[in-house]
């Protein structure tokens, strides 16, 4: 009877050790990798928003491109002074179309 109990205890310790190894060498690196991917995704989105913001304000770009960048910026949740600038760009484009039409 005691032999069976000792065997079960040995199996439990062995399984516990194996699970600890899996946690250390598999789960831990996966968690770190997923965190890194989320950080990269966040930075990519921030960089894209900054690029769109610059495009909205850049007078050197054609007005239609600035309006398109503003639409994308607002669709992604952008706000603030760039929203107001986008509205100005839209009005300027409308006026430009009326003049040429």
Q: Grade residue 4 by pLDDT with cuts at 50, 70 and 90.
A: confident
Residue 93 has pLDDT above 90, yes or no: yes
Question: What are 58-70's pLDDT values in tens digits?
Answer: 999 999 999 999 9
Which residues have C-beta within 8 Å of that of residue 85, sequence separation ≥ 6? 56, 57, 70
pLDDT of residue 100: 87
**Residue 57 CB coordination number (10 Å):** 16
pTM for the model: 0.72
**Residue 56 CB coordination number (10 Å):** 26
By the 10 Å C-beta count (0-12 exposed, 13-18 middle, 19+ buried), 74 is classed as: middle
Question: What are 34-92's pLDDT values in tens digits?
Answer: 999 999 999 999 999 999 999 999 999 999 999 999 999 999 999 999 999 999 999 99
């Amino acid at each position: 009877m005691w032999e069976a109990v000792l065997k079960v205890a040995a199996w439990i310790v062995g399984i516990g050790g194996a699970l600890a190894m899996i946690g250390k060498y598999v789960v831990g690196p996966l968690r770190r990798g997923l965190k890194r991917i989320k950080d990269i995704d966040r930075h990519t989105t921030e960089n894209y928003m900054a690029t769109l913001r610059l495009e909205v304000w850049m007078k050197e770009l054609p007005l239609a491109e600035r309006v398109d960048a503003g639409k994308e910026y607002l669709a992604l949740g952008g706000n603030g002074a760039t929203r107001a600038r986008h509205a100005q760009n839209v009005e300027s484009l409308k006026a430009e179309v009326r003049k040429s039409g």
